[in-house]
Amino acid sequence: MCTGACSKFIAIPLYVLALVSVICNIILFFPDFSTDYASSDSKSNPMLTEEVKYMGGFIGGGIMILIPAIHIHLTSTKGCCANRCGMFLSIGFAAVGVVGAIYSLAVAAVGLQNGPACRYRADNGNEIWGRPFINSSGEYLGNKSTWDTCLIPENVVEFNLGLFSTLLVAAALEAVLCGFQMINGLFGCICGTCSDKDKD
């Protein structure tokens, strides 16, 4: 496959994955699809998990992927970037994408391991707001019977699990695609972009 065509094949999925990551991160701010928790969140009364506020999906899997995707896509068109110089620059942009994807992946993994913030019944019988699974090392993920520990928001464990898992998969795919573009960019830099108008 021509390196320019390969760039297009890589860029289009990156657009989709970046959009998915941004949407998932935004939705994570609204457990139970309510704005109450985000509006009431504060340092003294944290209603949302720290991993949501790190915005791994928005910054890492979104913006840091979208910008490289745009340049990678431009290397597949008959424009200023469809040449050896453009392919060389795409290596650097793809490397930025890899860093963003790793950030998003790491935040999602920690979010899954530590579990959601919710109201639950403590050992003394009082209902408190906190993170009941934070010291479980992720063991709660395989024990669905413990998910009822969270009383409010309703089904928050499934909510967090679904969205952070989606972010995890999206970030892994983004890292792979950006890694492929680094290799593709190297070949494009050495061999050109298969364009008749290829210029150094």
At residue 62, the pLDDT reads: 96
At residue 32, the pLDDT reads: 86
148-175 burial string, b = 16+ CB within 10 Å, else e? Answer: eebeebeebbebbbebbebbbebbbbbb
Query: What Cα–Cα distance (Å) separates residue 164 from each residue in 137, 158, 160?
Result: 16, 10, 6
**CB-based contact 28:160 (threshold 8 Å):** yes
> Taking the complete model, does pTM exceed 0.85, yes or no?
yes
At residue 86, the pLDDT reads: 74
Question: Consecutive sets of 10 residues in the chain, 200 residues long: mean pLDDT of each?
Answer: 74 95 96 88 84 94 94 76 75 94 97 93 86 88 90 92 96 95 81 54
Per residue in 32-70, pLDDT (tens digit) is: 888 888 888 888 778 899 999 999 999 999 999 999 999
